[in-house]
């Protein structure tokens, strides 16, 4: 069933075939079509090619460039694994596949470039069409002339992903956190695309779970590729069943299916969709069955080589992340107790911050980075997630400077004393009973001129009774971003 979701490319509706996105559909088709190549050496190869032509038409209708690249990689692997085919008819079939795909691309008007000013592509889940996600962004964005938004956005995201890996190489940033961490702490300040993943399965695993998890993934993947490459040319041409399927063709097709799946994962975070594992799982199972049925004497060597390949890939990712971040003004890294440490320079002034999205918007980390960039002196921000942590989790020597925003002002009861500098930015709710700012040092309360919640009078009275300084945010409601971070230095 073809679900006409709101996915477009150059005015063409992209078919998602019942999957969440066309990219998912394309990856599924690539891994499925590669399995049809088991008939490459049998008398049924032209019949299978006819079936494959229908699948290639559907693949072209997804307009997924990543899926087309994955198909090309799978074709190259399969063709090379069987050494171009042992019969003339077999070689013609391999060549015909390329021709059929080219025809289908011409029929549907497939274009590799999406840089024309009149083209648009619907964003779904992320700005790079990565699928349905919490807080998804579904909107059509017009392309900029001579700029391919899908490619530009991916490259910017992957750059940030590499820096995230370099900042937390062993522990990662936590499951399900890659998109949020990127938007808050690594996305350019002038960009606002929404993401939930890295739009790349390998960066996603490493950024969320650490390089050791990715090492295991790459080790297994490399082992299967080496096993398929070795097994497809082991000289054993035994046939299975009445269809005339040969062992080399079966191994090459299974390996090509896995190659297509692995390459497709470079362009979209596919591994989080369980149903997409079905075809690659069948291919991997076939390779394991064949390996057990006729063990390869080179198994130990392949296992060691797979580990070397995985190690080199990890070193490359880590090194790239360090190199990309070499000129960054700010140093970002995860801290203890679910915090993020953002530092400029030596970080002589340490501020503990509890932000509220109602005050700083959906990506408060981005606004806090603006503060760091414009701060008059080097400082370190220890940013706590809303709903976690309090003064009891903060070392007393570091709790001297505190910023509480919006509903986080309720934490004021945790900072009765020992705080030398306190900033309350657009506090919400009622001031905690029995808590006075007189026991603290310098206290500044920022109150919005437009009191949307009606909380400002209570906090104004509390500030006057505590001897705190009151700063009015002119023409501002609860959201302070229009005045941020300049408002922090008002009337200094």
Question: At 427, which CATH number?
Answer: 3.40.50.1820
Whether 284 maps to a domain, the answer reads: no
User: What is the distance between the alpha carbons of residues 124 and 112, in angstroms, rounded to a whole number?
Assistant: 20
pLDDT the model gives residue 439: 63
User: What is the distance between the alpha carbons of residues 193 and 35, in angstroms, rounded to a whole number?
Assistant: 37
Q: How many domains does the chain have?
A: 1
pLDDT the model gives residue 102: 94
Whether 144 maps to a domain, the answer reads: no
Whether 251 maps to a domain, the answer reads: no
Whether 306 maps to a domain, the answer reads: no
Measured in degrees and rounded to the nearest 5, phi and psi for residue 143 equal -75, 155
Rg of the chain over all Cα atoms, to the nearest angstrom:
28
Whether 181 maps to a domain, the answer reads: no
Whether 393 maps to a domain, the answer reads: yes
Whether 450 maps to a domain, the answer reads: yes
Domain span at residue 440? Answer: 330-489
Whether 322 maps to a domain, the answer reads: no
pLDDT the model gives residue 134: 36
pLDDT the model gives residue 84: 59
pLDDT the model gives residue 114: 64
User: What is the distance between the alpha carbons of residues 372 and 362, in angstroms, rounded to a whole number?
Assistant: 18
Secondary element (H or E) of residue 342: strand 339-344
**DSSP assignments along 426-465, one per residue:** S--SPPPTT--GGGSSEEEEEEESS-SSS-HHHHHHHHHH
By CB atoms closer than 10 A (0-12, 13-18, 19+), residue 55 is middle
Q: Give this prediction's pTM.
A: 0.87
pLDDT the model gives residue 225: 92
User: What is the distance between the alpha carbons of residues 185 and 370, in angstroms, rounded to a whole number?
Assistant: 11
Task: Give, for all 492 residues of the chain, the pLDDT tens digit.
Answer: 344 457 777 778 889 999 999 999 999 999 999 998 888 766 777 788 888 999 999 999 999 999 999 999 999 999 888 875 556 667 888 888 999 999 999 999 888 766 544 333 433 334 444 443 333 333 333 333 344 578 889 999 999 999 999 999 999 999 999 999 999 999 999 998 999 999 999 999 999 999 999 999 999 999 999 988 887 675 566 656 556 677 888 888 999 999 999 999 999 999 999 999 999 999 999 888 887 776 667 777 888 999 999 999 999 999 999 999 998 999 999 998 889 999 999 878 889 999 999 999 999 999 999 999 998 889 999 999 876 555 555 554 456 789 999 999 988 887 766 667 889 999 999 988 777 766 677 889 999 999 988 999 999 999 998 888 999 999 899 999 999 999 988 655
Determine the Cα angle at 73 with ends 70 and 79, to 5°: 140
């Amino acid at each position: 069933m073809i679900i006409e979701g709101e996915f477009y490319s150059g005015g063409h509706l992209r078919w998602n075939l019942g999957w969440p996105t066309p990219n998912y559909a394309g990856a599924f088709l690539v891994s499925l079509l590669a399995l049809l190549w088991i008939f490459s050496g049998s008398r049924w190869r032209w019949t299978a090619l006819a079936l494959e032509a229908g699948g290639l038409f559907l693949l072209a209708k997804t307009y997924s460039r990543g899926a087309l690249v994955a198909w090309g990689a799978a074709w190259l692997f399969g063709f090379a694994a069987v050494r171009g085919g042992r019969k003339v008819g077999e070689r013609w079939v391999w060549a015909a596949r390329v021709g059929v795909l080219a025809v289908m691309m011409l029929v549907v008007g497939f274009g590799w470039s999406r840089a024309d000013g009149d083209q648009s592509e619907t964003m779904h889940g992320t700005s790079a069409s990565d699928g349905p996600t919490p807080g998804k962004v579904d909107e059509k964005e017009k392309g900029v002339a001579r700029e391919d938004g899908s490619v530009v956005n991916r490259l910017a995201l992957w750059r940030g992903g590499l820096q995230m890996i370099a900042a937390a190489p062993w522990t990662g940033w936590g499951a399900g956190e890659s998109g949020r961490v990127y938007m808050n702490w690594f996305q350019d300040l002038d960009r606002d695309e929404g993401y939930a993943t890295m739009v790349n399965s390998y960066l996603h695993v490493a950024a969320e779970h650490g390089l050791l998890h990715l090492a295991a993934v790459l080790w297994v993947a490399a082992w299967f590729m080496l096993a398929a490459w070795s097994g497809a040319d082991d000289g054993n041409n035994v046939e299975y069943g009445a269809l005339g399927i040969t062992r080399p063709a079966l191994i090459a097709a299974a390996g090509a299916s896995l190659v297509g799946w692995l390459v497709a994962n470079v362009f979209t975070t596919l591994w989080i969709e369980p149903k997409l594992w079905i075809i690659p799982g069948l291919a991997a199972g076939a390779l394991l069955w064949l390996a057990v049925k006729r063990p390869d004497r080179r198994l130990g060597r392949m296992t060691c080589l797979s580990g070397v390949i995985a190690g080199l890939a990890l070193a490359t990712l880590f090194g790239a992340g360090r190199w990309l971040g070499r000129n960054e003004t700010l140093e970002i890294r995860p801290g203890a107790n679910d915090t993020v440490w953002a530092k400029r320079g030596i970080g002589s002034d340490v501020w503990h911050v509890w932000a509220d999205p109602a005050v700083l918007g959906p990506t408060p980390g981005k606004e806090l980075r603006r503060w760091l960039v414009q701060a008059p002196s080097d400082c370190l921000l220890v940013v706590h997630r809303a709903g976690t942590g309090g003064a009891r989790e903060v070392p007393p020597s570091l709790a001297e400077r505190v910023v509480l925003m919006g509903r986080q002002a309720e934490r004021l009861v945790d900072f009765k004393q020992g705080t030398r500098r306190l900033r309350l930015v657009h506090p919400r709710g009622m001031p905690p009973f029995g808590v006075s700012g007189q026991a603290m040092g310098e206290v500044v309360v920022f109150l919005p001129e437009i009191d949307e919640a009606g909380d400002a009078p209570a906090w104004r009275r509390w500030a006057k009774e505590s001897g705190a300084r009151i700063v009015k945010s002119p023409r501002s409601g609860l959201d302070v971003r229009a005045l941020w971070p300049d408002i922090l230095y008002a009337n200094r």
